[in-house]
Chains A and B, each alone.
Chain A
């Protein structure tokens, strides 16, 4: 690995994103709009606490989902256009490639989360017991988790249609099992066991912990699991980057 090459990849991905104005606007505006929709729905129904309960998990889910989709499609494009093969025939470490992407999308997620958190906390009045910056840290790591998972699964898609299908295959089950619908310990033992392994469970737990308690220790423990999953996904992603193909 080489910092010059990692930085070159990150800069290049950011330049590509900068040129795509519509994607940029959607990255920033959509999460805010969705949170406002959630708030409006509960307020209008006279059930304010609903927003307090579901807002934080949504802050964790959105960057994860968005970065998962964006990354898997971008990486797939890189594989099919031949640029990935070209890069791997150059002095490009696999780690440079993966980390460059993770850095670029992590930065995008930070920008996205600044807006989403600001809107939630200051405009929609979400109660956050812990420090607001901790929300941001959790959101950025969730986004990097989405990026790492997207990098990995893009290896198993031959077309963009397939890449998008990995969202219902890999992301929706995690949303169902992350404790958003039923508390995780109330689930059947098998599902509880599975949810104990899935990274999104920890991402959502961390966000809820920061939002509901001044005690941030458990949130960091949850985040440690998320970080471990990021490392696993990047490692698996590196294994799918082949310098030689059939």
Chain B
């Protein structure tokens, strides 16, 4: 039986009277890398914030590890990387990691492990302000890994990274999944889709597909995921059809 770490039903989010998410249903299974793909502004970040439990939701339910998202026992069990690196600019890489490890109660040895995992050993004493954008987001990723969380929510963690590093990070995500974590990764770059075990395609606050990359290609007859995305959108007969699940 598939073990779902995250279960979402009828998730509706509204902001300032505008509906951002239109009643989403999906799961994030344990042991897999689930990709959340869609153009920027389609609601990916709002969806991820809902899973982490920092988003006020209008209706629906978000359950993480059998508990309501954001509840107290989950606070060291969900690793979350926001799009903008949420780390302290005026601290070094190591100081940042040490601080968050103390907050999480993670053993001090995890600081070095996670720093190596994201490839920042050469920058350990560097102040984060002086790092490049990609390096900063890796510091942020390392923070999310400190507590060895069984659920990882990563909002565009590979944007702007060197292709070699991007490949390495995707390998890391798969290794974490193989170790039993549920990994939810968002991206607006469609060519990252093939690296995921499963895909959630999103557009204008709705999920338009939920399938493996291969089956999506077969089903739409497209050559790549971008083509599949276009084919699905073209096949829709208006907003209502978008909610029909595959």
**When the two chains form their complex, are residues B54 and A244 in contact, meaning their CB atoms are under 8 A apart?**
yes
List the A side residues contacting B55 at CB < 8 Å: 244-246
* Residue of B15, B78, B100, B143 with most chain A CB atoms under a 10 A cut-off: B100
**Pick from B16, B53, B88: contact of A89, CB under 8 Å:** B53
**When the two chains form their complex, are residues B86 and A245 in contact, meaning their CB atoms are under 8 A apart?**
no
Within 8 A of B (CB), among A188-213: none
List the A side residues contacting B72 at CB < 8 Å: 91
**Pick from B54, B78, B84, B102: contact of A245, CB under 8 Å:** B54
CA distance A8 to B86 in the complex (A): 17
**Pick from A8, A20, A87: contact of B90, CB under 8 Å:** A20
B148 interfacial contact with A, CB 8 Å: no
CA distance A15 to B75 in the complex (A): 25
A169 interfacial contact with B, CB 8 Å: no
**When the two chains form their complex, are residues B56 and A89 in contact, meaning their CB atoms are under 8 A apart?**
no
| Extra 6 A-B pairs, beta carbons < 8 Å, given A16-B91, A81-B86, A89-B54 | A7-B102, A86-B80, A244-B53, A244-B54, A244-B70, A245-B54
List the A side residues contacting B80 at CB < 8 Å: 86, 89
**When the two chains form their complex, are residues A12 and B88 in contact, meaning their CB atoms are under 8 A apart?**
yes
* Residue of A9, A81, A92 with most chain B CB atoms under a 10 A cut-off: A81
B204 interfacial contact with A, CB 8 Å: no
B127 interfacial contact with A, CB 8 Å: yes
Q: Across the two chains, which residue of chain B brings its CB closest to A4?
A: B102
A82 interfacial contact with B, CB 8 Å: yes
**When the two chains form their complex, are residues A91 and B75 in contact, meaning their CB atoms are under 8 A apart?**
yes
* Closest CB in chain A relative to B238 CB, distance in Å: 28
Assuming the contacts A86-B82, A243-B53, asked whether A91 and B90 have C-beta atoms less than 8 A apart, the reply is: no
B115-148 interface code vs A (CB 8 A; 1 in, 0 out): 0000000000001000000000000000100000
**Hey, which bits of chain A sit against chain B, CB under 8 A?**
4-5, 7-9, 11-12, 15-16, 19-20, 81-83, 85-92, 243-246
CA distance A32 to B53 in the complex (A): 48
**Hey, which bits of chain B sit against chain A, CB under 8 A?**
15-16, 52-56, 70, 72, 75-76, 78, 80, 82, 84, 86-91, 95, 99-100, 102-105, 127, 143
Assuming the contacts A4-B105, A91-B103, asked whether A86 and B143 have C-beta atoms less than 8 A apart, the reply is: yes
List the A side residues contacting B16 at CB < 8 Å: 246
**When the two chains form their complex, are residues A91 and B104 in contact, meaning their CB atoms are under 8 A apart?**
yes
**Pick from B54, B89, B104: contact of A85, CB under 8 Å:** B54
**When the two chains form their complex, are residues A12 and B89 in contact, meaning their CB atoms are under 8 A apart?**
no
**When the two chains form their complex, are residues A15 and B89 in contact, meaning their CB atoms are under 8 A apart?**
no
CA distance A245 to B50 in the complex (A): 10
List the B side residues contacting A83 at CB < 8 Å: 86-88
**Pick from B15, B105, B127: contact of A19, CB under 8 Å:** B127
**When the two chains form their complex, are residues B76 and A90 in contact, meaning their CB atoms are under 8 A apart?**
yes
* Residue of B16, B95, B103 with most chain A CB atoms under a 10 A cut-off: B103
CA distance A91 to B100 in the complex (A): 10
**When the two chains form their complex, are residues B127 and A92 in contact, meaning their CB atoms are under 8 A apart?**
no
CA distance A57 to B7 in the complex (A): 60
List the B side residues contacting A12 at CB < 8 Å: 88, 91, 95, 99
* Closest CB in chain A relative to B66 CB, distance in Å: 18
User: What are 19 A-B residue pairs whose CB atoms fall within 8 Å in the complex?
Assistant: A5-B103, A11-B102, A16-B88, A16-B91, A19-B91, A82-B82, A82-B86, A83-B87, A86-B80, A86-B82, A89-B70, A90-B75, A90-B76, A90-B100, A91-B103, A243-B70, A246-B16, A246-B55, A246-B56
Q: Across the two chains, which residue of chain A brings its CB closest to B15?
A: A246
**When the two chains form their complex, are residues A15 and B54 in contact, meaning their CB atoms are under 8 A apart?**
no
CA distance A85 to B90 in the complex (A): 18
List the B side residues contacting A246 at CB < 8 Å: 15-16, 55-56
**When the two chains form their complex, are residues A89 and B52 in contact, meaning their CB atoms are under 8 A apart?**
yes
List the B side residues contacting A11 at CB < 8 Å: 99, 102
List the B side residues contacting A90 at CB < 8 Å: 75-76, 100, 103-104
List the A side residues contacting B100 at CB < 8 Å: 90
* Closest CB in chain A relative to B46 CB, distance in Å: 10
* Closest CB in chain A relative to B159 CB, distance in Å: 15
List the B side residues contacting A244 at CB < 8 Å: 53-56, 70
